[in-house]
Structure 1
Amino acid sequence: MQPGYLNPARLPLGTRVGPWRVLERIGLGTYGAVYRAIDAQDSRRIVALKLALHPGDERFAREGELLSRLRHPSVPRLVDQGVWQQPAGPCYPYLAMQWVDGASLYDWALQRRPTSRQVLHVLASLARALEATHAAGGVHRDVKGDNILVSDAQGSVFLTDFGSGHYLGAATLTPPPFPPGTPAYRSPEAWRSVKLPLPASAAAYAPGPADDVFALGVTAFRLITDEYPPRSDPTSLYGHEAGAASVSARAVNGRCCEELSELTSRMLSASPKARGSARELAEALEDAAHGGGPEADVPLFAPEAPPPEETSAAPRHVVHRAPGATWSAWLTAASLGLALGSWWGTGVHRAEEAEQVRASAPEEERDGGTVAVGDAALTALEHPDRAPAVRSSIALELPPKPFPGQRRPDGNMRCPGKTQVPINGGCWLKLSIDPKDCAKEDGYVYQGGCYTPALRRERPATSGPTKRTDGP
């Protein structure tokens, strides 16, 4: 590694990336890091800066193109895009987007304890954001609570992280059976499309607007009930057949008004046509928000009494999950992943991806589990003033190839020293910490352990600080 080389996953304070100066890292994913950054010429301009971890990552061009087509108050604006390059080094694409200072949707619900009417307004804004996305020929493909931010100041709602998104004419980056997405939010028609074993000519399922609407329904159900929608068949993620009745959020949480419950059931319909378009749904949500009676103004969750001093039980809403549903999603994703690992054959790398899905899925705090067999979405933005949320651990999965400057195993697949192990073409050091704390140490989760890349040592500078272009 050259003296002064910077790892894109760990840029120090003040590093220049194009016209932006890094303030702090707020998220890390398999394919990109998210930083809070300011304009080097105007410190009043703050952006969320996504920087690729791998040179020339095509996902960034695809996300940038989709965002450039969108103009909606509930979608963060694309401010800038370009490439970051160090002297004699590769080019890493980046995106700079409107900074949103707020909490994720589920955290917002925990803090604010909203009413049905407030939730109807939130869902209507998100449906309008999806309407704009679909009108631009795009699909988000990873609608979920951790990709939704509610602004602290105005209470505005933002649909974020279009890293898994797609638009008409864009290149396909993920092999069959699924494009990016999160298992618990995937539509029943997507799961029904998979027939194992996959034939050699299998094509990847192509999500459409109806898939985004269904994912918004899962998000709504979890927001209202603190649970995922129940599954009637643990081997089939949702177990829904065409024409089957949708689940009722009101049956789980009686504080939910009838209009909100009915619209949530509509979004969760097994029939894509019955869900309606994002525009139709937005209009129905807005009508319900404006026309609801006193029942719509009842908080969805009652204030909780503090636990007795002698107990240490956590409040009900600290962790949002439905244990049975989470395990069902994991079993489905794991079985698909393992079957696909053998189908890809050439694929030691694909088998390792499937193993990562299996190994990481028992972390029930995740928002629906890891991204199913395919390329992972970039991490949702995190509030800079809070301790890392559970979504931090989602992103810290071991990347599919070594970082620049990382040690590589020799021809016998051995790494120097007894403490280094070869994984995915690079040498890694295993940390003696709980995988749940891995994100705190900037580590990466792999097969139940926490690892950090083994980097080549830098030679000390002999004549003062190392010079670099695009630096602080």
Structure 2
Amino acid sequence: MERRGEGAYGAVYRAFAEGHPGPVALKLALYPGDERFAREVELLSRLRHPHVPRLLDHGRWLPPGGPPHPFLAMEYVEGVSLYAWARRQRPSSRQVLHVLAELARALEATHAVGGIHRDVKGDNVLVSAAEGRAFLTDFGSGHFVGAAPLTSPPFPPGTPPYRSPEAWRSVRFPLLESAVPYAPGTADDVFALGVTAYRLVTGEYPPAAAPKDPECPVWSLEGAGPPPPRALNVRCCPELSGLVSRMLSVRPEARGGARELAEALEQTARKAGPEADAPLFIAEVSHPLRTWADSPPVLPRGTRPRWRPWLVAGSVGGALMLGAGGMLRVHPGAASAKEPTSLRMGAEDGGTVAVGDSVMTTPVAPTREPSAWSTLGVDMPPKPFPGQRRPDANGRCPGKAQVAIHGGCWMKSPVDPKDCDPDSFVYKGVCYTPVFALPRPATSNTAAP
């Protein structure tokens, strides 16, 4: 019926299938014989769960005079992303416990068939408008036992702020071609769900786990881990805060499996006291030129004010969440003239949104520029690497061919996104390589050994 978005690897359409009531989400590969589709189809065909959109059909489309392109069709889901739902609904701790339990059950089903999601995050969760039911989506970066790897080291597809500390600890710099890529497990999915819950409850991410980051020591095996959510939002009930901290345990074995976590969340939702029914956020006093979507939730007194606009911008406006197995642009509406630049610059989840999916949601008039979805390659990090060149006060990098992105300077690579080399990162469907300052030659007379 209409094309809803196009990315580096696929395009998504709203379609109607003969014999199927209502619309379906049709995902069509942009490249013939794309192996990603076969892997996604295999994983989704194993799943039958009320909180995972159903795979309806798959096959190959033969364009006139061209090679066949794989496609798949999935259940059409009307709803909004998890973070957009939270901003509109202002849920209580008990409501969040129910949603997290549904997602944990979806992960349990995925793990039971030998699969790993590998990109759990708020923008890959849809909450249906009709029932308020949570759906785990975006299986385009998923993996299952026996599947051939499709990406280069150090990481498989994913979004950096959601990567586990053990994943980051596996990285050795400089990256070598012979490096063995990190293999995520079920504990990585549980950790990513914990990061999702942390941001959902507090409005920001836990401390970064990336190597050489100033906050990284909290994730060492001897570290204390992140502060509990209740320390940032006093309205979070102690039981929910404790379960989120458990999901973010430094040691993978302490997090527990998805089934064990789902049971704990369900039990807590049933038994938690009246404190669990208080809204997690307080609505702002209305302003004629502002709406609820224009500003972050307001925390109560006694809560640490640590809001960062780029962290909450991913849920601004409940924009259309679509996926196309790669970078995907959403058709924009009129952007707000009052919108801060910081919100537009950091609109994606975690500074990046990883692989797309074939699930579509009902659009809501966006209040920001369209989101960009990165490809199955390594995602652009949300902030510069240590030693990476930075733009000046005017946002210009020192080299004419350099581009300023996320506070760092990058060189554009003239290759197709699917051919990015291991040292490149993908941003809006284009390969970029970080620019580092070369060490200056020594000026002393010290002789080298």
Q: Does residue 115 in structure 1 map to residue 92 in structure 2?
A: yes
Aligned to 1:147: 124
CA separation of 1:323 and 1:125: change in aligned 2, threshold 3 A = same
Aligned to 1:395: 373
Aligned to 1:424: 415
2:352·2:374 contact (CA, 8 Å) conserved in 1? Answer: no
Q: Does residue 368 in structure 1 map to residue 358 in structure 2?
A: no
Q: Secondary structure at the match of 1:62?
A: helix
Aligned to 1:256: 236
Q: Take 1:146 and 1:258, find their aligned partners in 2: how far apart are those partners?
A: 26
Q: Take 2:158 and 2:370, find their aligned partners in 1: how far apart are those partners?
A: 17
2:151·2:376 contact (CA, 8 Å) conserved in 1? Answer: no
Q: Output aligned runs, 1:202-281, within 5 Å.
A: 202-231=179-208, 235-236=212-213, 238-239=216-217, 240-246=219-225, 247-281=227-261
Q: 1:390-419 deviations in whole A, cap 9, x for unaligned?
A: 69422278999xxxxxxxxxxxxxxxxxxx
CA separation of 1:66 and 1:86: change in aligned 2, threshold 3 A = same
2:58·2:73 contact (CA, 8 Å) conserved in 1? Answer: yes
2:118·2:184 contact (CA, 8 Å) conserved in 1? Answer: yes
Q: Take 2:261 and 2:21, find their aligned partners in 1: how far apart are those partners?
A: 38
User: Shift of residue 285 of structure 1?
Assistant: 0.4
Q: Take 1:274 and 1:167, find their aligned partners in 2: how far apart are those partners?
A: 23
CA separation of 1:45 and 1:29: change in aligned 2, threshold 3 A = same
Q: Take 2:156 and 2:245, find their aligned partners in 1: how far apart are those partners?
A: 25
Aligned to 1:306: 286
Q: 1:312-351 deviations in whole A, cap 9, x for unaligned?
A: 9942249xx964996xxxxxxxxxxxxxxxxxxxxxxxxx
Q: Take 2:129 and 2:290, find their aligned partners in 1: how far apart are those partners?
A: 35
2:93·2:277 contact (CA, 8 Å) conserved in 1? Answer: yes
Aligned pairs, number? 350
Match of 1:175 among 148, 152, 155: 152
Amino acid corresponding to residue 279 of structure 2 in structure 1: P
Amino acid corresponding to residue 345 of structure 2 in structure 1: E
Aligned to 2:61: 84
Q: Take 1:177 and 1:298, find their aligned partners in 2: how far apart are those partners?
A: 43
Q: Take 1:163 and 1:444, find their aligned partners in 2: how far apart are those partners?
A: 16
1:144·1:215 contact (CA, 8 Å) conserved in 2? Answer: yes
2:355·2:375 contact (CA, 8 Å) conserved in 1? Answer: no
Q: Does residue 386 in structure 1 map to residue 364 in structure 2?
A: yes
Match of 1:286 among 263, 266, 269: 266
Q: 1:1-55 deviations in whole A, cap 9, x for unaligned?
A: xxxxxxxxxxxxxxxxxxxxxx22333332122221111x347332111111111
1:116·1:260 contact (CA, 8 Å) conserved in 2? Answer: yes
Q: Take 1:390 and 1:75, find their aligned partners in 2: how far apart are those partners?
A: 28
Q: Take 2:270 and 2:117, find their aligned partners in 1: how far apart are those partners?
A: 28
Q: Take 1:35 and 1:201, find their aligned partners in 2: how far apart are those partners?
A: 40
Aligned to 2:11: 33
CA separation of 1:309 and 1:53: change in aligned 2, threshold 3 A = closer
Q: Output aligned runs, 1:12-51, within 5 Å.
A: 23-39=1-17, 41-42=18-19, 44-51=21-28
Match of 1:135 among 112, 125, 139: 112
Q: Secondary structure at the match of 2:276?
A: helix
2:137·2:357 contact (CA, 8 Å) conserved in 1? Answer: no
Q: Does residue 296 in structure 1 map to residue 311 in structure 2?
A: no
Amino acid corresponding to residue 394 of structure 1 in structure 2: A
Amino acid corresponding to residue 350 of structure 2 in structure 1: G
Amino acid corresponding to residue 109 of structure 2 in structure 1: A
1:81·1:94 contact (CA, 8 Å) conserved in 2? Answer: yes
CA separation of 1:444 and 1:243: change in aligned 2, threshold 3 A = closer
CA separation of 1:50 and 1:256: change in aligned 2, threshold 3 A = same
Q: Take 1:425 and 1:200, find their aligned partners in 2: how far apart are those partners?
A: 20
Q: Secondary structure at the match of 1:73?
A: coil
Aligned to 2:36: 59
CA separation of 1:391 and 1:72: change in aligned 2, threshold 3 A = farther
Amino acid corresponding to residue 241 of structure 1 in structure 2: S
Match of 2:175 among 174, 192, 198: 198
Aligned to 1:188: 165
User: Shift of residue 309 of structure 1?
Assistant: 6.1
Q: Take 2:367 and 2:190, find their aligned partners in 1: how far apart are those partners?
A: 26
CA separation of 1:445 and 1:169: change in aligned 2, threshold 3 A = closer
Aligned to 2:301: none
Out of 88-97 and 57-66, give the one that drifted further: 88-97
Amino acid corresponding to residue 110 of structure 1 in structure 2: R
Q: Take 1:36 and 1:209, find their aligned partners in 2: how far apart are those partners?
A: 33
2:139·2:357 contact (CA, 8 Å) conserved in 1? Answer: no
Q: Take 1:88 and 1:141, find their aligned partners in 2: how far apart are those partners?
A: 37
Segments of structure 2 that go 5 or more residues without pairing to the other structure are 299-305, 312-342, 379-411, 418-427, 433-449
Q: Take 1:174 and 1:84, find their aligned partners in 2: how far apart are those partners?
A: 25
Aligned to 1:435: none
Q: Take 1:46 and 1:312, find their aligned partners in 2: how far apart are those partners?
A: 30
Q: 1:67-90 deviations in whole A, cap 9, x for unaligned?
A: 011111101111000111112212
Amino acid corresponding to residue 300 of structure 1 in structure 2: L
Normalising by structure 1, we get a TM-score of 0.67
Q: Take 2:176 and 2:416, find their aligned partners in 1: how far apart are those partners?
A: 29
Q: Take 1:191 and 1:97, find their aligned partners in 2: how far apart are those partners?
A: 33
Q: 1:255-306 deviations in whole A, cap 9, x for unaligned?
A: 1000000000011111100111111111110111000000000011112112
User: Shift of residue 379 of structure 1?
Assistant: 5.0
Q: 1:212-266 deviations in whole A, cap 9, x for unaligned?
A: 0000000000101111113488834744111422321111111100000000001
Normalising by structure 2, we get a TM-score of 0.71
CA separation of 1:446 and 1:268: change in aligned 2, threshold 3 A = same
User: Shift of residue 362 of structure 1?
Assistant: 9.5
Amino acid corresponding to residue 257 of structure 1 in structure 2: C
